[in-house]
Amino acid sequence: MKILVTGGAGYIGSHTCIELIEGGYEVVVIDNLCNSSLESLKRVENLLNINIPFHKVDVRNKSALTWLFEKYTFDGVIHFAGLKSVSESVENPINYYDNNVIGSFLLLEVMRNFNCKTFIFSSSATIYGKPHTVPIKENFPLSATNPYGRSKLMIEDFLQDVFLADESWRIMTLRYFNPVGSHKSGVIGEDPNGTPNNLMPYISQVAIGKLEKLSIFGGDYNTKDGTGVRDYIHVVDIAKGHVKALKALENHPQILKINLGTGNGYSVLDLVNAFERASGEKILYQIVDRRPGDIDICYADPSYAEEQLEWKAIFGLDEMCEDTWRWQLQNPDGYQH
């Protein structure tokens, strides 16, 4: 089967390409490279000794997408392409709705024109807003608190309407919790532009000496140590989830919305302590004010994924930290060296 991977040069996309290829799928990657690096795909090619067709295409470019679907016969699409910073989305909502929502609309339109109806969408746990309880199940009320989350929610609603209008589609939205870690080889990993927005790369850059200390936003949450609790999940587990999703969609047309999480909540200090164990380095930190919109506790109930996809996360917190540290040591400047 030939799969189009949009945003395939990004963090989760590049790891998923490895799992797809090792699972026997052919992949074609498009990416506009606005927040990713082509170097990641070159490294995947070297790792697997394979050539991956790549085209620098923006999903908002309908004529380029049409050309692509004329060139290849795709059996399905995995859609990672999109912007992903909550704070950036608050500052520039127009850009987020344009990239994430309009891009997805155009992609689905071209897929329909070529009768390609298998679609896996990268959604996010942010669409649960502030959950009334944990663990979070798929049938919980949905309410995003920022433009990034709302863009994901709008696309989920759109996909539901697409399926209701034409039930020959095979659609899955995968709601990720907090992806961390890197491939065991240390060859590919998370390479944020500038100062990291996410906790794990920030901690690893403190450990290697690129950043002085970690700022922990809030030490007075209603948690065991006062710091926020999240469901951190290894990026390779998430990548494997996409392969399982493709296999599940082969069976019959359907639309499914599924959490990808571990079912475990780890505090910020849990992560700091685990990273100190993995790296042997002391992580300096300071507690600062909470960020607006941050919630106390957020972790998944992953049982539906196990039931529908025969998937569950297998990597623990120590492995997540060890693999991140290996990537950071081997690539102190990310892909730019």
* In a domain? residue 54: yes
CA dihedral 51, 55, 59, 64 (to 10 degrees): -130
Specify the pLDDT at position 337. 52
Q: Is 51 helix (H, G, I), strand (E, B) or coil?
A: coil
* In a domain? residue 302: no
Residue 131, domain extent: 2-181+232-261
* In a domain? residue 208: no
Q: What is the pLDDT of residues 179-232, one digit of tens each?
A: 999 999 999 999 998 889 899 999 999 999 999 999 999 999 999 999 999 999
Specify the CATH number for the domain of residue 136: 3.40.50.720
Look at the chain and report how many structural domains it folds into: 1
* In a domain? residue 223: no
Q: Show which residues are catalytic.
A: 148
Q: For the chain (length 337 residues), average pLDDT per consecutive 10? A: 98 98 98 96 98 98 98 98 92 97 98 98 95 96 94 98 98 98 98 90 96 97 97 98 97 95 98 98 97 89 98 98 98 87
Rg (CA), the chain: 19
Specify the pLDDT at position 86. 87
* Tally of CA atoms within 13 A in the half-sphere of 45 that contains its CB: 14
Q: Which residue shows structure tokens 């996809």? A: 309
Give the C-alpha distances (Å, rounded to integers) separating 4 from 51, 57, 74, 201.
Answer: 15, 12, 6, 28
Specify the pLDDT at position 145. 86
Specify the pLDDT at position 113. 98
